[in-house]
Amino acid sequence: MWFNYSLIMREDLVPTDPQFWNQLTPIYCDTVRIVGIFLCIASVIGIVLNGSLVYSFIRYKALRTSPNMHVMFISIVGLLASCTILPSTGTSSVYCKWLYKRAGCQLSAVVAFFYGCSSSYLLCVVSLSRCYIIMRPFAANKVTVRKSITISCFAMFIAFIWSMLPVFGWNEYVMEGVRTSCCINWYDRRLSYISFTFFLFFIVYFIPLVILIATNTVTLIGFKQMREKMKRGMHTIFTRKRIEMEQRIVKSIIITTLGFIFTWTPYSVALFISAFRGKYYAMPPLITFICACFAKSSVIWIPLLFIGTSTQFKLRFVNANRLNYRTRSDRVAGKIVHTFALVRNNNSSITIRTLRTVPDKKKHSTIRTNIYSN
């Protein structure tokens, strides 16, 4: 199972030598070429999906809500990754050697590191924001669009700092063992190199994983408690809508957590084990390469997750009718408009108020229904 990297590493070649970047892959070329074709296809799909989301957020103001701001930033970094690291790795794999010299290797590795780190942090921000809104619904108005943008920018800034550390000397970016992609130098046994690999494992994978599991567990527990309270109250349209929303969010939580685990765990474990054991007893280069490609495929499933669980999206594009439905309903003269409001009373009970409004007569009548008490 273990692989001795010293068998495929040429000590006489250094990165400053042009021949260093012309080395063919030590793995069976047809296998690498198949993976490269998959990466090229994934690049096109990622550009279409993430580009569609970014365009939709720009085109439709109704989508630019505070929770969706984090998704928009994930789509932006996903689009960046789909346009850079996937095509470079895919085309190099098709030709069975790295095609973009040292500068391209540095750029590709920086973007890959930045994408992996920022997407992990932004997924954590999405889970934290969702947990806060579910557990404290009356404080949800404090989560504004401006705050969401600020938090997302801060998460991406931290990710950018981490991705630049190897450029400034803490570890370095080199070709992976398969020689068609680039990443950090995980097989060097110097202390600065090993320490950065362990640092990377904890801040980019382990800590975000703990945050995802903890916040999503709290959110699911909050849903369960809320549903039990609703079962003891009167069933209304609001209750049914709430249950439908819960089902979508629960589906999103499960897919997000499992998707993060299945895409990033193999690559993180492979690098961690290889860094711990050194280049003489490391993971085989083909396994590490496939794990890395599997992690990069997250540029596809993250936008698919949002499109599949959002009522505002269809597979083709934005459902403009749904986005404009509320606006048109409020403008129709002579029609009765029903809205629902969740209100906290002085005795700490929570009620739902149904507002029945006739726009042309400017009359309002309120029907109050007690649902449950805290």
Which pLDDT belongs to residue 336? Answer: 47
- Of 127, 373, 107, 113, which is closest to residue 234 (Cα–Cα)? 373
Q: 224 and 355, same structural domain?
A: no
Q: 347 and 283, same structural domain?
A: no
Q: 212 and 158, same structural domain?
A: yes
Q: Is the pLDDT of residue 28 over 80?
A: yes
Q: Which amino acid is at 191?
A: L
Q: Which residues contact 315 (CB under 8 A, 6 or more apart)?
A: 307
Q: Which residues contact 150 (CB under 8 A, 6 or more apart)?
A: none
Domain-located, residue 326 = no
Q: 9 and 128, same structural domain?
A: yes
Q: Are 163 and 251 in contact (CB under 8 A)?
A: no
Average pLDDT over residues 153-180: 91
Which pLDDT belongs to residue 210? Answer: 93
Q: Is the pLDDT of residue 363 over 60?
A: no
Domain-located, residue 324 = no
Which pLDDT belongs to residue 176? Answer: 85
Q: 347 and 209, same structural domain?
A: no
Which pLDDT belongs to residue 239? Answer: 58
Which pLDDT belongs to residue 369? Answer: 37
Which pLDDT belongs to residue 254? Answer: 79
Q: 115 and 9, same structural domain?
A: yes
What is the number of domains present in the chain?
A: 2
Q: Which of 18-32, 135-149, 275-289 has maximum average pLDDT?
A: 18-32
Q: 62 and 24, same structural domain?
A: yes
Q: Is the pLDDT of residue 287 over 50?
A: yes
Q: 10 and 98, same structural domain?
A: yes
What distance in Å separates the CA atoms of residue 370 and residue 352, rounded to the nearest whole number?
A: 7
Domain boundary residue, one of 295, 319, 343: 319
Domain boundary residue, one of 319, 343, 362: 319
Domain boundary residue, one of 290, 319, 348: 319
Q: Is the pLDDT of residue 362 over 50?
A: no
Give 84-131 pLDDT, tens digit per residue. Answer: 999 999 999 999 999 998 899 999 999 999 999 999 999 899 888 888
Domain-located, residue 327 = no
Residue position matching structure tokens 């391209």: 104
Domain-located, residue 247 = yes
Which pLDDT belongs to residue 222? Answer: 79
DSSP letter assigned to residue 151: H
Which pLDDT belongs to residue 370? Answer: 38
**Band of residue 326 on the pLDDT scale cut at 50, 70, 90:** very low
Q: 337 and 300, same structural domain?
A: no
Q: 202 and 56, same structural domain?
A: yes
Long-range contacts of 155-162 (CB under 8 A, 24+ apart): 155/73, 155/118, 155/121, 155/122, 155/124, 155/125, 156/73, 156/77, 156/118, 156/121, 156/122, 158/117, 158/121, 159/114, 159/117, 159/118, 159/121, 160/114, 160/118, 162/113, 162/117, 162/200, 162/203, 162/204
Share of the chain above pLDDT 70, in %: 72
Which pLDDT belongs to residue 317? Answer: 45
Domain-located, residue 196 = yes
Domain-located, residue 113 = yes
Domain of 337?
Answer: 332-373
Domain-located, residue 137 = yes
Q: 136 and 93, same structural domain?
A: yes
Q: 337 and 275, same structural domain?
A: no
Q: Is the pLDDT of residue 358 over 80?
A: no
**Which CATH number does the domain housing residue 132 bear?**
1.20.1070.10
Q: Is the pLDDT of residue 230 over 70?
A: no
Average pLDDT over residues 351-367: 47
Which pLDDT belongs to residue 353? Answer: 52
Which pLDDT belongs to residue 329? Answer: 43
Which pLDDT belongs to residue 231? Answer: 65
Average pLDDT over residues 339-356: 52
